[in-house]
Amino acid sequence: MASGPKCLVIDTDIARSAGGLDAQEGRSKSCRDFLTAVLETQHKVVTTEAIRTEWHKHQSRFTRIWLVSMVARKKMRQIVWVNPCKDEETPVAWLQDGAALEKERKLGHQ
């Protein structure tokens, strides 16, 4: 029972473990097959600055190529935060104006 595309957070461990096309069994193959399925379906990946930094530090060669493909297909999104109970964040106006990716709204921004 499919219910439409989802936004997924993928742990750095998956990025590190994904093997190349020669990986035939175990964790490397499972992680590679999962990332390939994400690329070939309608699902997207959401990240934070911290997650992207970790990915870049630990990604496999396969994951580096996969990541370029995901960005090219516009399937990568950054997590943003807005608190509808804080008037100073102007949450309704922000949504109505297109929910721009503002630095101070990025999850993990300090």
pLDDT digits (tens, 9 = 90+) for 5-20: 888 999 889 888 888 8
**What type of residue sits at position 90?**
T
**Taking the complete model, does pTM exceed 0.85, yes or no?**
no
Residue 44's pLDDT is what? 93
**Whether the Cβ atoms of residue 47 and residue 14 lie closer than 8 Å to each other:** no
Q: What is the pLDDT of residues 61-70, one digit of tens each?
A: 999 999 999 9
Looking at residue 1, what is its pLDDT?
52
Kindly list the domain boundaries of the chain, sorted by start residue. Answer: 7-79, 81-110
CA angle, 43 as apex, 19 and 83 as ends, to 5°? 115
